Structure 1
Amino acid sequence: MPVVPPMVSAATGALLVPHAPAGQSRLALLLGCYAMLGLGMVAALLVLAMIYGRLVHHEAPTGAVVPTVWIGVGALGQSVTALGALAAVAPSALPAPYARGTEVFALLGGVVVWGFTMLWAALATGLTVRTIRAGLPFAPTWWAFIFPVGACVTATSALAARTGSEMFDWLAVAFYGLLVIAWVVVTGHSLRHAARHLLLDPAGNMS
């Protein structure tokens, strides 16, 4: 999903804000990160609306395509992460009233988007479970499970740090455990598939 890179850039760009020269350079970097976040978030909502419309009016995806539905979870979770990261560095570039506003936005907006993230995760989980029961063949698209779950970890951790909520603390731990399990499973299948391919075709020719 091409809307994800702007969100990732916004979250990672926040780490650079305190290191930028104070004044206009730092302010421009912060505002640029917010602009990329807005670009990615609005575009993601439009894409997710189209995907949902297709799920409602057409047959649900099957087979190796199903893991890609999880990318929507990654886009939403990354936006929550970016909101928290930008609010943390905003005081170094914005006047106090506006910096305080970014903290409110990160909290309220973050919780709202996190809720939508969980809804999309539930939808993706339902499709995945149904496909596993029917037989989910291994494909490189399985790696689409990893980034979204990781985004849930960072998003939930950001909200836990901002709210002090034990609920978010435990959910972040649960998501992290799920991330480790998913990574081990996908890595194992990837290595097994690669080894099998080398045994069947030692020359490494693409079939």
Structure 2
Amino acid sequence: MLTIVRDPAPAPIARRSPALAHLTPNWFAVVMGTGIIAVGAASLPVDLPGRDSIARGFWVLATAALLLLSVAFAAHWVRHREQALGYARNPAMAPFYGALPMAVLTVGAGAAGVGTEIFGPSAVVAAALLWALGTVAGVTAAIIVPPRMLSGGIPSPVWLMPVVPPMVSAATGAALIPHLPEGQARLTMLLGCYALFAMALTAAVVTMAVVIGHLARAGLPGVQAIPTMWIPLGVIGQSIAAANLLGRVSGTAVSSDAAAGLRAFGVAYGTGVAGIGALVLGFACLLTYRAAGRGLRFSMSWWSFTFPLGACAVGAGALGMATDSVAVQWFSVALFALLLGIWAVVAANTARGVWTRTLLVPAP
């Protein structure tokens, strides 16, 4: 320590090292919450002024954040391996490793929907590679992480993080199907996406049953953990989007009768689950309002507001287009507008926390 004080050159490095040492996987929620705005803007069922610029801008921002965090996270594992292993073995931190594949999948979805306007057809190739990488990582997380959570973690909505990625793969994979060769390639992709849908939905239902049982016995989480109560909306929104987006493109891979059945399934599933989503959204808003009055302070958990809400906006848009419901389509616009406002607040607080370094040290 005395050497560092006497030598002014290494001092900046000494101040930076804690930030890298304590770089946790929940930081990838920044990419998720930013990238979902690009995906949501590109998929809005209503052609609003400026939507294309918003989609392009937020996709570029999310891509830059993903690249930066990926390099920093790799350096974290190289330079602070014991610290990284400690986080990976921690049952409370393990669920957040689901954020990594979802960040990759979200940026990949933006590449398919927005990147082609910037980079042309090569963006589709990048989207396919990111989808494959995110899907493999997401399925791996869904298999490996839950046993770690069960080894001593306390059930909470955060437990959904590692089981949601396959659902994101199902929803984002729909955009790639029309770009595949006709025939078996498209059929295989379609069936694979429905398998991912079923995998994630089953895991999410089981996980939520465990979480709800714990909440019924132990009560609601503390004030600072209330933002995580929004996480179930991510599963709801992504599943509605997946069911309807896959139904929309199914005609390119299966017979017209089968495609009609899949579209009908998407509408029926989306309509029923949307009712559950409305209930969960209202409950989450009420809890957040009460928590704000009880001293809710900013933390990285506030990013839990963004991706789930964006997923609901995308899901509502997909359902609105499948049913030709103008009311549902404009509801998706309202959710997207709310998302933009919330993102601005969360991003501003995050930037301030990074500048003051309060977010770069372990929470007390």
TM-score (norm 1): 0.92
**Aligned residue pair count:** 202
Paired with 1:159 and 1:193, the residues of 2 have a C-alpha distance of: 37
CA displacement at 1:126 relative to structure 2? 2.1
Three-state SS of the structure 2 residue aligned to 1:138 is coil
The 5 A counterparts of 1:58-69 are 58-69=218-229
Structure having greater relative contact order (Cα 8 Å, sep ≥ 6): 1
2:314 is equivalent to residue 154 of structure 1? yes
Paired with 2:198 and 2:246, the residues of 1 have a C-alpha distance of: 12
* 8 Å contact from structure 1 (residues 22, 93) kept in 2: yes
The 5 A counterparts of 1:29-178 are 29-178=189-338
CA displacement at 1:6 relative to structure 2? 0.4
CA displacement at 1:161 relative to structure 2? 1.0
* 8 Å contact from structure 1 (residues 64, 142) kept in 2: no
* 8 Å contact from structure 1 (residues 146, 179) kept in 2: yes
Paired with 1:64 and 1:148, the residues of 2 have a C-alpha distance of: 18
Q: Which moved more, 1:176-185 or 1:12-21?
A: 12-21
Paired with 2:179 and 2:294, the residues of 1 have a C-alpha distance of: 51
Please list the CA deviations of residues 91-131 of structure 1 after superposition, one character each: whole Å capped at 9, or x if unmatched: 11111211110010011111111111122222222221121
CA displacement at 1:54 relative to structure 2? 2.2
Q: 1:82 to 1:188 in 2, by over 3 A?
A: same
CA displacement at 1:205 relative to structure 2? 7.8
Q: 1:55 to 1:127 in 2, by over 3 A?
A: farther
CA displacement at 1:191 relative to structure 2? 1.3
Paired with 1:83 and 1:147, the residues of 2 have a C-alpha distance of: 18
Three-state SS of the structure 2 residue aligned to 1:135 is coil
* 8 Å contact from structure 2 (residues 316, 329) kept in 1: yes
Structure 2 residue runs of 5 or longer lacking an equivalent are 1-160
Paired with 1:187 and 1:156, the residues of 2 have a C-alpha distance of: 24
Paired with 2:281 and 2:212, the residues of 1 have a C-alpha distance of: 13
Paired with 1:137 and 1:127, the residues of 2 have a C-alpha distance of: 14
Which residue of 173, 183, 203 corresponds with 1:23?
A: 183
Paired with 1:205 and 1:97, the residues of 2 have a C-alpha distance of: 55
Paired with 2:349 and 2:360, the residues of 1 have a C-alpha distance of: 20
Paired with 1:205 and 1:130, the residues of 2 have a C-alpha distance of: 28
AA aligned opposite 2:307: F
Structure 1 residue runs of 5 or longer lacking an equivalent are 199-203
Please list the CA deviations of residues 118-145 of structure 1 after superposition, one character each: whole Å capped at 9, or x if unmatched: 2222222222112111011111111111
Paired with 2:302 and 2:190, the residues of 1 have a C-alpha distance of: 34
Paired with 2:360 and 2:243, the residues of 1 have a C-alpha distance of: 46
* 8 Å contact from structure 1 (residues 7, 41) kept in 2: yes
Q: 1:205 to 1:187 in 2, by over 3 A?
A: closer
AA aligned opposite 2:266: A
Aligned to 1:194: 354
CA RMSD in angstroms comes to 1.7
Three-state SS of the structure 1 residue aligned to 2:211 is helix
AA aligned opposite 2:223: G
TM-score (norm 2): 0.53
Please list the CA deviations of residues 34-54 of structure 1 after superposition, one character each: whole Å capped at 9, or x if unmatched: 000111112112222222222
Q: 1:125 to 1:53 in 2, by over 3 A?
A: farther
